[in-house]
Amino acid sequence: MSTTFILAILLLFVAVVLASQGAWEWWNSRHGAVARRLESRLQAVATGGAGRKEAMSILKARKLDGSTVFERALLLLPGIRTFEAWVQQSGVSWTTARIVALCALMPVLVAVAGMFVYVPLAMLAALAVVTALLPVMYVRYRRAKRMMRFQKQLPDACDMLARALRSGHALAGAIDMVGTEFANPMGAEFRITFDEINYGASLNDALLGLAQRVPAGDLRYFVIAVLIQRETGGNLAELLDGIATLVRERFKLFDKVRVLSAEGVLSARVLSLMPVFTAGAIAFVNPGFLEVLWKDPGGVMMLQASAVMMVIGAIWVRRIVRIHV
């Protein structure tokens, strides 16, 4: 084997390695974790003031202020700005336009499927309504989960703020430390607050924006306490320690209530799912046994009445076992 051939193979290998590395660096700089985090941060800063009137509105572009016809049409809907802020609070990557489009598309798919499978009209309409609400229910679940995670991080954030203030840092610097050290959603929201302060907003306006972006009761206590302390004076570090202790005690009480109501929650879930699983098991063992429920008019009325009563019962039981602390 000649030296020229071996050298050509080595050069080809080096070229392939360098091309692969260059392609990876290009992809990672645009779609990697750092690029996504930077894009998310810039987008959060750009849309951070959703739901409130901004003094620097020329710099506060919102997601629905796009150029497509569909996005401009959504702006005509009443309450769309509130819904957009609600979506942003969930932390999902979906845009408001995409969620609205999914809500409109799901019933159409159910109607098309109903052309090929015989289903009573009332049941088909109920299924279409449920599928139309699925994207909103998912966003609602993600929002509730994100708000709960934020509130659980709040005591530790107050402790860090208090320690930073005792060590001589200013409040803005302490906010920057929380935004840097904490994971999302606490870190992301405090980074937005610090960025707003750097961009020229006052500390009071930045904290009010934080309270409006994250509608958590404990965070509002924190913001109100800080704003009052800035007006009246006092030891802010001790105040933050008191807020952290208050939030932790409230979560302890919440956990006790959750344990005491666990039996009722389990009973509600079992009672809600038992008719569905029982009907599915009967249909699997004897497929023709339940046909009378959707072929006979009386059976259809019975199904409709049962569905309505099950929904009412599920809502009623949920209200009974859901105890606010």
Give one DSSP letter per residue of 94-153, joined into a string: --HHHHHHHHHHHHHHHHHHHHHS---HHHHHHHHHHHHHHHHHHHHHHHHHHHHHHHHH
Rounded Cα gap, residues 56 and 279, in angstroms: 58
pTM above 0.85, yes or no: no
pLDDT in tens, the chain (325 residues): 577 777 777 787 778 878 887 887 777 777 776 666 666 666 655 554 443 333 333 334 455 555 567 677 777 777 788 888 888 888 888 888 888 888 888 888 888 887 777 777 777 787 888 888 999 999 999 999 999 899 999 999 999 999 999 998 889 999 999 999 898 889 989 999 999 998 888 989 999 989 888 888 889 889 998 999 888 888 889 999 999 998 899 888 888 888 887 877 788 788 888 888 888 888 888 878 888 877 788 888 888 888 888 888 878 877 777 766 5
pLDDT of residue 43: 61
pLDDT of residue 40: 65
Rounded Cα gap, residues 141 and 136, in angstroms: 9
Question: Which CATH homologous superfamily contains domain 148-257?
Answer: Type II secretion system (T2SS), domain F (1.20.81.30)
Rounded Cα gap, residues 261 and 283, in angstroms: 34
Query: How do the domains of the chain map onto residue ranges?
Result: 148-257, 261-325
